[in-house]
Amino acid sequence: MIRRITGWGRLGMVAIVLFAALLCVQPVLAQRQAQLPWWQRSAERKIGYYHIKTDLPPDQANELARHLNLMHEEYAKRLASLGPRSPTPMNVMIFAQRRDYLQTLRTRYGVDGSGTGGMFFVNPSGSALALWTESLPNRRILNVIQHEGFHQFAYSRFGSDLPSWANEGLAEFFAQSVLVNRRFIIGQSNPRVINAVKNGIELGTYIPFRKMLTMTPQQWSSALREGDASNQYHQAWSMVHFLVYGDGGRYVQRFEAYLRAINAGFTSQDAFIRAFETDDIEAFETRWKQYALAAKPSAFVTAMERIEFLAEGALELSRKGKSPQTMEELRSELKAINFTYMVQKHGVQIELRADDETMYTIPMDDLSPEPPAFVISKPNRRGMSLRERKFEETIPTPPAIDTENLKPKTMSIRWTRDRETGEFSYEILVK
């Protein structure tokens, strides 16, 4: 029997055909969209102080935009006496993939982003704060935002006149800060940086104060191209830390006066003499050395770096079919495979090693009433599907790593397994 399709029946068939066609077209459209240059497929909008262009999912983009704006308010509050001088648009580009970051900077702006996690640049083609997020822990991304974001803010107040030591020292000073309940904990200090500064003083390889004050951006960049410039960044941070906190904070108002003088157009050395009412720069150098040699690391920022090292180590052990159940087991297994983890900062590769006993500890500081520590709890394997259990046999769930007695916040590792490959990724949670 032949059945005729009329009225609503025909409309239903048309809808089915159109829906089927749409299903076929969507993957093609998505593929074409992915093939477009980053500049064409990224979204752009004004969020707070910033014009943000990004290809990140909206939720992630909004979270980073929120952090950018909170950090901007922190810069403005700490440097409230400095008026705007170079009203450059606050442009920000956030890339999901490193390759898009490198290609866009090179082809659109003539900027080489190799070896960087982000940068602020100004040239005839434009200016922007640019960074990428691919596979990076969130804390590393925030560190880049806080460091490079300061350079962008500083340019609006000083143009190109802020001396390199103050520009980089303040950028690192803000980069080490921690956001807690919409409030930044400023003045955090990293043990690796503190020890590097101490070694420089003890070995006599530090840079004299007078040379740091007068070092040009070209001289600073030359050290970056020719070798390890990490000592410059470490010492610049230490000098800023000293001028803010040294001798009970007695220099901070004069440091602010120095910055105001730079803002007004004075040279670095003249601004220093004007603000501190002395040309005895060597006396300040002597006092800084005493301060730097007595410096102690902050617990929170230290734990942040070390928990990332432990998570990467646990991930490597998982790929080898191992899931340690205690910190002692984790330490032993990482040493057995000679695990190392490379961190890149300012174009310098920093090697973190399993045979360094400090990587498994957290120092005490003024915020710690009890000794902070890393602890491991057994992963919860209840409610696993058959597929997940099969994955567990070859790639076991890495151990849950947490902190205890850590102030101002605790942190932990959250593991996520890819449903297709069974591989794990992680996120550092701050609670």
User: Residue 2: its pLDDT value, please?
Assistant: 38
pLDDT, mean of residues 367-373: 91
The residues, any chain, with a CB within 8 Å of residue 328's CB and separated by 6 or more, are none
pTM: 0.82
Tell me the pLDDT band of 137, cut-offs 50, 70 and 90.
confident
Residue 3 has pLDDT above 50, yes or no: no
Would you say residue 268 has pLDDT above 70?
yes
pLDDT digits (tens, 9 = 90+) for 73-103: 999 999 988 888 877 789 999 999 999 999 9
For 303, left (φ over 0), alpha (ψ -120 to 50), or beta?
alpha
Domain ranges of the chain: 36-159, 161-297, 299-430
Domain spanning 36-159: which CATH class is it, in words?
A: alpha beta
CA–CA distance from 120 to each of 87, 99, 189, 225, 283 (Å)?
15, 18, 23, 18, 34
Q: Where are the beta strands (DSSP E) in 124-252?
A: 126-132, 178-180, 183-185
Whether residue 381 has pLDDT greater than 60 = yes
Percent of the chain with pLDDT over 70: 89
Which pLDDT score, from 0 to 100, does residue 298 have?
A: 93
With H, G, I as helix, E, B as strand and everything else as coil, classify residue 25. Answer: helix
Q: Is the pLDDT at 17 greater than 90, yes or no?
A: no
Per-residue pLDDT at 261: 94
Q: What is the pLDDT of residues 386-429, one digit of tens each?
A: 777 778 888 888 999 999 999 988 999 999 888 888 889 998 88
pLDDT at 184: 85
